[in-house]
Amino acid sequence: KQEVTQIPAALSVPEGENLVLNCSFTDSAIYNLQWFRQDPGKGLTSLLLIQSSQREQTSGRLNASLDKSSGRSTLYIAASQPGDSATYLCAVRMRKGGSEKLVFGKGTKLTVNP
Amino acid sequence: EAQVTQNPRYLITVTGKKLTVTCSQNMNHEYMSWYRQDPGLGLRQIYYSMNVEVTDKGDVPEGYKVSRKEKRNFPLILESPSPNQTSLYFCASSSWSGSSYEQYFGPGTRLTVT
């Protein structure tokens, strides 16, 4: 059974700092991996999606890496801002035949202090 | 505008009173799914549908029903809601096209069962 773990569960940093969020998964047979952002009481915003054949994806100040063989992904946020404060969720997508299963980690709650 | 809509967004109901949460997508996606999000447990898949008239259980299907009579709609039915179904519910739709993947989440439905 696929399990996704995110470390740390919470992180507080001063504005301007570069930071790394970690995600690990137990079954390397993934189709892709996705990072989401969730603001309190809100829906999910997709940040980056990395296909299983890719090593990294970048969008603005965000860079996500994937090492499928070791079951790890990182989300790097450069020059953090108070507006980056949110919960970040990592999810791996398993695909078997025509079915799809998205398994989420429990998230890292990020607070960026001005 | 591509979107997934859910209704209602907020619902307070009593134990045993049947309810339906609707989900609709306008992107002609084949795949739709329902998730619930609970503190400390993260997001868990309830049911998914690979296409019209094709549905299957996710990780936590007990107490829920779904149907997929049309491609755009995937309602979640609680025949006899109980307090342990108090949660934040998300609907999602997705589609593969060659090597590209597209997914959208709805805004969420916050359900309270008293």
Flag if A43 and B106 touch (Cβ within 8 Å): yes
Cβ–Cβ below 8 Å for A104 and B33 = no
Per-residue pLDDT at B49: 94
- Please name the member of B50, B54, B105 whose beta carbon is closest to the beta carbon of A44: B105
Question: Over the stretch A85-109, which tens digit does the pLDDT of each residue have?
Answer: 999 999 999 887 767 788 999 999 9
Terminal-residue alpha carbon distance, chain A = 41
A102·B33 Cβ contact <8 A: yes
Please give, rounded to a whole number of angstroms, the shortest distance from the CA of A14 to a CA of chain B: 26
pLDDT (0 to 100) of residue B99: 67
Shortest Cα distance from A91 to chain B (angstroms)?
9
Q: Does B100 touch chain A (CB under 8 A)?
A: no
Residue B103: the pLDDT is: 85
pLDDT value, residue B63: 97
Looking at the complex, report in whole angstroms how far the Cα of residue B108 sits from the nearest Cα belonging to chain A: 6
- Asked if the model's pLDDT at residue B72 lies above 90, the reply is yes
Residue of chain A whose Cα is closest to the Cα of B87 = A41
Percent of chain B with pLDDT over 90: 81
Q: Which residues of B touch A41 (CB under 8 A)?
A: 88, 110
Of A43, A98, A106, the CB nearest to B90: A43
Summarised one tens digit per residue, pLDDT across range B73-94 is: 999 999 999 999 999 999 999 8
Complete DSSP assignment for B40-109:
TTEEEEEEEEEETTEEEE-S--TT-EE--SSTTB--EEESS--GGG-EEEEEEEEEEETTEEEEEE---E
User: What pLDDT, on a 0 to 100 scale, did the predictor assign at position A101?
Assistant: 84
Greater confidence (B103 vs B49) lies with B49
CA distance A41 to B87: 11
- In 3D space, the residue among B74, B76, B102, B104 whose CA is nearest the CA of residue B88 turns out to be B76
A55 touches chain B (CB under 8 A): no
